[in-house]
Chain A
């Protein structure tokens, strides 16, 4: 068998990076990033969604996606048509469907509020009629969305609730499976990842919608997954090396799990990268958010969730017996 195949042999079996040594530096960087993300997410404060570009899911209002052929969509004409109709807050933008549209159509999207005293459904119908009249019969309406004020409020509440419940449940789970020190560390890591992902949405201006909440929840799942693997090794090493200083022990555990972290991270990033390039349309921001989340989640497992344990230490030694993992049913021998 050659020296380079299988490729896994290229990954050193034992690395010896001093992660903890730079924990302070990266901790400072993380704090800066978190503060920056919070700032860009909540500012400007007079906006209902702060710095996020909320979609109709959370703000209410209407959305029409249309396509034209053979001429490109004239955005100014769409804007003029909607303004003549008197719809408030009309925003028009074009978008492309990468590599997936064999028909060669041009796509545009318009978002707007309700005409005063007219229901969302009727506003959309009137807008479609006006656009058909002004843009000619070549225009096709591919997607319409209308969300009432009551529903958008509930969707927003549910989205926020989902994030809060997810983080609390993760904390409880880790606390139950490990110890409170780990639970707290995991939650700090989670907050870090979630806030940075919010920051990504705020800075890139990607639409913040129900799908965005789903992507953040997935980031939470992945980040936890990663943190658990590192914590699991720390816990194991705590029992194995009773005298080793905690900093060294954390370094050892991260190094031991490093090849796994890289392998899994690379496959996930590759698959999501394909999705971002080929998935088109609404899947693109979803894939971008997940890619970002996986990078940040991996980073935070190594540089946030693990070193943060140093701040308050962990229980160890003979008294540690009660902190042993609970045997799961599936862990039986073959």
Chain B
């Protein structure tokens, strides 16, 4: 008599319950799902962007540009500090991770070194990210430590992700996903957002806000002719035409910003209200007090938004920025400022978008194709192997379909367009295990074995082949998962889940049901044998 393990029946029952419990929610409308009691699990398939519509952006964090800028700031730092300490500087040159300052007069090396060391701050306990070393009798090297240079990249990417997240949240995008990819890339996926233009504009802005004095001692014309003073820079206004010559030294930057808001100026035009923190307010107060009557520039991402004249010292730490704003552009800028500035520029390396209607079309086509293919395979198996053996494989296939949907729903796997193809292929391949088992049983029965012996031998022989054959498919799927991106990964995942569930159901369902049939009927021949 055929040996029969009860645990296999239990396993099947558990699989059936599991399959029903975690897949039924897909058949309900969102409203019906809402109405269900909260304790019921109701996972549903997670549709990829190609099926539900949305935007995909691959952003590159330009870490090199950021390093370059930080190094440029070092030299500004040094120039400013030494000029305040009344040290004459002959030249500052870039050198690896930092700059080398050559003094005009070696006698000043002591006060110069002291002044530079004060820049490091922090005292002994706190390791600084910069070092100051004396080189020879008239040179000082001011540089980032190797550790600081190395940490700059990862830190910049982490900060960028945070900033991007805040900005996208401020847009009200539904369930965005923002993840790091590799060392210097960020992937933004925004379902439902079929036009990534606004997303891109909002993400792409660095939003570096600085307040700098306008250089009134030198002429803009001379600077445009090429004679830019070393402590100043030539910037364009927002219109892209008006040139401004501004001091390089930053009085206050966006880092000191506590909050920004949309407001109106005296002539009722939209403007941006801002408030600084204590340090920012003090620095802004001092500078405005010392420069009454002179203009200062408000600069966003290298463009001068406005350059108002200082009428009196501004000590409260708050004010408004006037410019040619509309309500929309002002509120976008406010969101950007409140979200913080990006530590490094972001560039869009890859961008894909699909409208929801195209996605819906794809889903409709995919559903229809899957349904017809599924029914076709069922009918084919039924006709080929008869009501008993065909029926068993139909039951196995139905349970398989249920399990695939359940497994994909609870793992949160993303069903993509190629994933639907994977699903269809899996359903077709699922019968392979049945076919292998049945063909073996036919062989054994035709060789003269009794149905029970034929079944036993058929199973044991076929299972080796089934495992070998399916492991190769799993291997191929794993490789796709490893190397593939987006939709291909979805396909690989669907294929992997399908292979596992199809082997499980084909082998287990077939075995259990056949044993039941053998016990009940005690047949003399197999209906599929000739």
Contacts and interface: CB of A to CB of B under 8 A. Distances in A.
A217 B491 CA distance: 11
A286 interface: yes
B106 interface: no
B516 interface: no
Interface of B: 2-5, 8, 50, 58, 60, 196-197, 200, 347-355, 357-358, 361-362, 364-366, 368-369, 372-374, 376-377, 380-381, 383-386, 389-390, 417-418, 420-422, 424-425, 427-429, 431-432, 435-436, 438-439, 442-443, 446, 456, 459-461, 463-465, 467-473, 475-477, 479-480, 482-488, 491-492, 495, 507, 511, 515, 527-528, 530
Contacts of B439: 257, 259-260, 263
Question: Interface size bucket, A side?
Answer: 35 or more
Nearest to A268: B428
Contact of A217 (B357, B383, B428, B479): B479
Given A256-B443, A278-B369, A214 B492 contact: yes
Interface string A225-247: 11011001100100000000000
Nearest to B470: A225
10 contacts: A146-B348, A146-B352, A161-B483, A173-B471, A264-B429, A271-B424, A278-B365, A286-B421, A333-B3, A333-B456
B465 A228 contact: yes
Contacts, number: 276
Given A6-B383, A13-B446, A173-B475, 6 more contacts: A101-B361, A144-B353, A148-B349, A165-B482, A268-B429, A333-B3
A264 B435 contact: yes
A334 B456 contact: yes
B530 A9 contact: yes
Interface stretch (A29-37, A135-143, A198-206, A310-318): A135-143
Main secondary structure of the interface of B (DSSP, over half): helix
Given A125-B197, A268-B428, A274-B372, A281 B365 contact: yes
A155 B4 CA distance: 51
Interface of A: 1, 5-9, 13-14, 65, 97, 99-101, 103, 119-121, 124-125, 140-148, 150-151, 155, 158-159, 161-162, 165-166, 169-170, 173, 177, 210-211, 213-214, 217-218, 220-222, 224-226, 228-229, 232-233, 236, 256-257, 259-260, 263-264, 266-268, 270-272, 274-275, 277-283, 286-287, 290, 325, 328, 330-331, 333-334
B350 A290 contact: no
Nearest to B427: A271
Contacts of B428: 264, 267-268, 270-272
A225 B511 contact: no
A145 B530 CA distance: 57
B365 A334 contact: no
A155 B58 CA distance: 13
A146 B362 contact: no
Nearest to A159: B483
Report which residue of A100, A270, A271, A280 has the largest number of chain B beta carbons within 10 angstroms of its beta carbon: A271
A6 B389 CA distance: 9
A142 B360 CA distance: 11
A224 B418 CA distance: 21
Contacts of B384: 6-8, 263
A39 B424 CA distance: 33
Nearest to B512: A334
Nearest to A331: B463
